[in-house]
Amino acid sequence: MRGDDRGDDDTVRRILTGLGDTWAVVGLSGNRARAAYGVAARLQEYGKRIVPVHPRAETVHGERGYASPADIPFPVDVVDVFVNASLAGAVADEAVAIGARAVWFQLGVVDEEAYARTRAAGLEMVMDRCPAIEIPRLEG
């Protein structure tokens, strides 16, 4: 694991173990071939409640979906972002607006300006990492 400005190991641990169990997974649909589908399943196995966020608002892994983070009618602890990096900054801003405690940009999702804005707003954040990879490191 690395300890750079994209979220050090302590931040990863805090987000996965201490910031709450409700994760909005932005980009999650019923498409089993997409990474978001498998990662969301792993988060559920780890004890997290996943909330699918996708324009189609599909039910995935038994959880009702919503079209955007703003549509979720209950508190969200972490916003996990599986969208193109060019769209990720707007999602991070939505996470701040809904009062999330952390933002997680998945592997390949990098937006340094969004990272700086999100951290300045007081949220924890990691970028370019995957919780499905990090969870076994915590367990092992």
Q: Is residue 34 part of a domain?
A: yes
Q: Is residue 18 part of a domain?
A: no
Q: Residue 59's pLDDT is what?
A: 96
Q: What phi and psi, each to the nearest 5 degrees, are found at residue 24?
A: -80, 120
Q: Is residue 62 part of a domain?
A: yes
Q: Is residue 82 part of a domain?
A: yes
Q: Is residue 7 part of a domain?
A: no
User: In the block, which residue shows the tokens 């190991």?
Assistant: 9
State pTM to two decimals: 0.93
Domain count, the chain: 1
CA-CA-CA-CA torsion sign (42, 45, 46, 50): positive
Q: Residue 138's pLDDT is what?
A: 81
CATH of the domain at 51: 3.40.50.720
The residue with greater pLDDT, 79 or 5, is 79
Q: Is residue 13 part of a domain?
A: no
Burial of 47 (0-12, 13-18, 19+ CB in 10 A): exposed
Average pLDDT, the chain: 93
Q: Is residue 8 part of a domain?
A: no
Name the nearest CA neighbour of 131 among 27, 14, 4: 14
Q: Kindly tell me if the per-residue pLDDT of 53 is higher than 50.
A: yes
Q: Is residue 128 part of a domain?
A: yes
Domain housing 33: 26-139
| Cβ atoms of 69 and 26 closer than 8 Å | yes
Residues 31-51, mean pLDDT to the nearest whole number: 96
Give the tokens for residue 102. Answer: 């952390």
pLDDT band at 137 (very low <50, low <70, confident <90, very high): confident
Q: Kindly tell me if the per-residue pLDDT of 140 is higher than 70.
A: no
Tell me: the pLDDT tens digits for 64-123?
Answer: 999 999 999 999 999 999 999 999 999 999 999 999 999 999 999 999 999 999 999 999
Give the tokens for residue 9. Answer: 């190991």
User: In the block, which residue shows the tokens 């996965």?
Assistant: 16
Q: Kindly tell me if the per-residue pLDDT of 125 is higher than 60.
A: yes
To the nearest whole percent, how much of the chain has pLDDT over 70?
Answer: 94
